[in-house]
Amino acid sequence: MTKTLLAAALFASLAAPAFASDTPAERTFTRDGETYVYTTQIKTDRVVITGRSHPDGGPFELVVRGDSVTGFSGGIPVSFFMKGVQAKLMPAKLAAR
């Protein structure tokens, strides 16, 4: 169940790529009556997704490196693989001439 919800969070973050700014944009999505509010931060070698679920208010943090997703949700450790997920979360690089 937790993996399904976290995978949904990843898919929701894929729909709206983050652009560089001082404060990450807050995003939301709802699934099974729970609303998830989260931000994504792009680091050199990883993407960090941090947020809370409502109405419970349980925190979650996911770290995406390559195809690996690790972190916690409501204090419970999670770990799973999603093919190509980090590439989809990173902003597109423009070709230079």
Check pLDDT > 70 for residue 21: no
Domain count, the chain: 1
97 domain residue, yes or no: no
56 domain residue, yes or no: yes
pLDDT of amino acid 50: 93
Task: Note the pTM of the prediction, 2 decimals.
Answer: 0.68
Range of the domain at 18: 2-89
Q: How many CA atoms lie within 13 A of 58 on its CB side?
A: 12
6 domain residue, yes or no: yes
- Tokens 């690089």 -> residue: 93
Check pLDDT > 80 for residue 54: yes
95 domain residue, yes or no: no
Average pLDDT for residues 22-46, to the nearest whole number? Answer: 84
94 domain residue, yes or no: no
- In DSSP terms, 69 is beta-bridged to 64, 80
| pLDDT band with cut points at 50, 70 and 90 for residue 32 | confident
**Cα separation, 40 vs 43, whole angstroms:** 10
83 domain residue, yes or no: yes
Q: Where do the H-state alpha helices sit in the chain?
A: 2-15, 85-89
Check pLDDT > 90 for residue 14: no
70 domain residue, yes or no: yes
Nearest CA-CA partner of 69 in 20, 22, 4? 4
